[in-house]
Structure 1
Amino acid sequence: MRVERCFYGPLGFFAVGLLAMAAPVLAQSSDLPRVHVIATGGTIASSASGLIGVEQLLAGVPALRDVAQITFEQALRVGSSRVTPEDWLALAGRIDAVFRDDPQVAGVVVTHGTDSMEETAFFLDLVVGDARPVVVTGAMRSADAVGADGPANLLSAARVAGDPAARGRGVLVVMNDEVHEARFVVKAHTLRVQAFASPESGPVGTVEAEGVRFRRGSAPRPGPFDLSGVQALPEVGIDYSFIGAPGDALRRATESGMSGVVVAAFGSGRVSEGQAAEIGRALNEGVVVVLSSRVGSGLARDEYGGGLASGGRNVLSAGILNPQKARVLLMVALTQTRDMGELARIFLHYS
């Protein structure tokens, strides 16, 4: 028996279903943990005929019946380069609702494209407060490719979401049998199935034949940001450093009234002359500027002297966050405050 209902929500049309014991796709034991799957599209759902739906996606992983009781919904059906901040807000709202309405749900799996997976995972990590795990997964190969990795990733993600040891660890990304924390994980290769890595920490765990193995305990997490009542996130841009960079994104932010800009600086915090001038103008206009690095790992700070953080300039450090994640944190933080001291505390705490 398959119980299914549909409703219209902030993301549009949701199909919500329950794969019960006699379901034609999965036969499941009521002794297994209940895991809710929210599908958003991406390569994991990509085929020559288009993006497949969540039911077809789940049907391709019959081993799920041995891992969890699966409930599901189709939230989006897009490549992750098309995901918007509005979609983030709606997705977080749906996850909160799942946890609020069903205390028996062990965890949530979000299937997602890999292009912006690290950003969506980090956003959810900042705003979802329930201790139960949210696990984001996807695929580097399309659903109809030879050697498709999506089914194995989805199965591993469901195992992690149903594991009690995953509670309290925040949002996790599961790819290629590795478990990564949302704050640290990055997409490090454009094509390989082992595309995701955590340069600053390494994976927090692995998914083995015997079960999920976490390599270290869960660290205390900062409290989530309360976005109740937030209808739109502040607009924040990224200005990239390169030889002769004029600071175009910084200039646009100043001229358009954008809330903030993240600078993807050289090394650990150097910028071009053009960027330095535009940073000064942006600060004078009240635009919040955050210093990150284009390198990919390591702290962003003004260790050379004479850069952004010197001379009394009120520029925030992104810490270990790469530019895209620093942007996510700034967007969320600006919904709470524009006080520079409080923003600095937030970046120190979360990065």
Structure 2
Amino acid sequence: MTLPRILVVSLGGTITMTTSAAGGITPTLTAEHLVASVPQLSSVASLEALTRFSLPGASLSIQNLTEVATLLKDRFAAGFDGAVVVQGTDTIEDTAFVLDLLTDGTHPVVVTGAMRGPQAAGADGPANILAAVTAAADRRLAGLGVVVVLNDEIHSARWVQKSHTGLTSAFTSPGTGCIGMVSEGRVELMMTPQRDIAPVKEALQHDSRVALVSLGLDEDGRLLPVLAELGYSGAVVEGMGAGHVPAGAAEAVARLATEMPVVLCTRVRAGRVFTKTYGFPGSEMDLIAKGAIPCGHLSAGKARLLLTLLLRSGASTDDIRQAFQPRGIAPATVSPKD
């Protein structure tokens, strides 16, 4: 039987880190080292190991991920059946989402990493790599979008979040749960995720930056008026509850929405921003009427990434509104107030 061809790309992260002379752990291992640490891989797939970067997850950039997306497209065109991207867990929920937006989903792409370094007791890296390659080799994942595999669980890039700083079970999908798991060397799928956000196909030609501002109890939004002069092209406002900010900050949000696209999110981990329930000053209806764009179910971090990619691709305000409108839900139709 011919084994599937899987590309393993290492970007760095805890899974590659060993103790340095200065203390602490830093990226040192290559993709070849990672693959060699899991002899069982030889019975799962025919592998090519490639080290693209050697960075902690927190230092990866959208430009880095654009290069990775291009690499994946080229290798798929050359006959590879799937890919595993190995990186630091700090930003897996972000990078998996960006790769999902920059690739077409016709081949399985799995992002994995480790919560413990390879020298730690109970290091989880080898098991995660084995599970990730097993998932990438399963053609049923084609068309499901980029997934994240850690702790034998398969999560959609659209929903996954890092929910703990240290546990090997750190990754969860609030509001939905994982879409499947790897058990006894086989992929078990329990549900099919909706790819309700279209990929960003236009070239990223603009150096657009998006601010993320959290407005909690008693915030007045005084930071918002300076965003434009600081060079930001868009903003994500992370509110409370179903998408609410203090009444005293509502006008600052309104003024900002006349200068740049402003996306409204919530700090709540699960559930979408409402569009037609609350009508008080600073409520979601008030802010939408003032020009804010509700983000649906996206977390504030992922909304910032989507807005950044859209702005860098030259998307219009109407394009941006459409991109944040989930399929199957009627758009918000709140009329501006007099």
Structure 2 spans left out of the alignment, 5+ residues = 21-25, 330-338
CA distance in 2, matches of 1:96, 1:237: 30
Q: 1:92 to 1:276 in 2, by over 3 A?
A: same
Asked whether the equivalents of residues 99 and 130 of structure 1 are also in contact (C-alpha less than 8 Å), the reply is no
Equivalent residues in 2 for 1:192-341, closer than 5 Å = 192-217=167-192, 219=194, 223-228=198-203, 230-247=204-221, 249-284=223-258, 286-302=259-275, 303-306=277-280, 307-310=283-286, 312-341=289-318
| TM-superposed deviation, 1:268 | 1.0
The residue type paired with residue 250 of structure 2 is A
Query: What letter corresponds to residue 45 of structure 1 in structure 2?
Result: T
Overall identity of the aligned pairs, in %: 35
Task: Find the counterpart in structure 2 of residue 110 from structure 1.
Answer: 85
Which of residues 189, 202, 216 in structure 1 aligns to 2:164?
189
**Matching of residue 152 in structure 1 with residue 127 in structure 2:** yes
Which has the larger displacement, 72-81 or 239-248?
239-248
Q: CA–CA distance in 2 between the matches of 1:314 and 1:95? A: 38
CA distance in 2, matches of 1:277, 1:324: 23
Q: Give the deviation of 1:248 after TM superposition.
A: 5.2
Q: TM-score, normalised by structure 2?
A: 0.88
Aligned to 1:47: 18
- Equivalent residue for 2:50? 73
Q: Give the match for residue 97 of structure 1.
A: 74
Tell me whether 1:31 sits opposite 2:2 in the alignment.
yes
- CA displacement at 1:223 relative to structure 2: 4.4
Residue deviations 1:172-209, cap 9 Å, x none? 10010000110011111111100011112211110010
User: How far is 1:72 from its partner?
Assistant: 1.6
Cα 1:232–1:254 change in 2 (3 A) is closer
CA offsets, 1:275-294, max 9 Å, x none? 3232122122x211001111
Q: Write the distance in 1 (CA, Å) between the matches of 2:206 and 2:12.
A: 22
Q: 1:173·1:181 contact (CA, 8 Å) conserved in 2?
A: yes
Counterpart CA distance in 1 for 2:105 and 2:177 is 24
Q: C-alpha offsets along residues 286-342 of structure 1, whole Å, 9 cap, x if unaligned?
A: 211001111111111253223243272111111111100011111122234553333
Shift in Å, 1:227:
3.5
Q: CA deviation at 1:265?
A: 0.6
Would the alpha carbon gap of residues 275 and 76 (structure 1) be closer, same or farther in structure 2, given more than 3 Å must change?
A: farther
Alpha carbons 1:61, 1:151 under 8 Å: kept: yes
Partner Cα separation in structure 1 for residue 156 and residue 83 of structure 2:
15
SS in 1 for 2:286: coil
Q: Please, what is the CA RMSD of the aligned residues?
A: 2.0
Decide whether aligned partners of structure 1 residues 73 and 32 sit closer, same or farther in structure 2, where only a CA change above 3 A counts.
same
**Pairing of 1:150-189 with structure 2 (within 5 A):** 150-189=125-164
Show the counterpart of 1:60.
Answer: 37
Contact 1:170 / 1:221 at 8 angstroms: preserved in 2? no
Specify the alignment match of 1:24 in structure 2: none
- What does residue 106 of structure 2 align with? 131
Classify 1:349/1:270 alpha carbon distance in 2 versus 1 (closer, same or farther; 3 Å): closer
- SS of equivalent to 1:115: helix
Letter in 2 for 1:335: R
More strand by share: 1
Matched length: 318
Q: Determine the C-alpha separation between the residues in 1 that align with 2:285 and 2:50.
A: 46
Question: CA–CA distance in 1 between the matches of 2:43 and 2:61?
Answer: 35
Cα–Cα, structure 1 residues 81 and 257, in superposed 2: closer, same or farther, change >3 Å? same
Unaligned runs of 5+ in 1: 1-29
Letter in 1 for 2:253: I
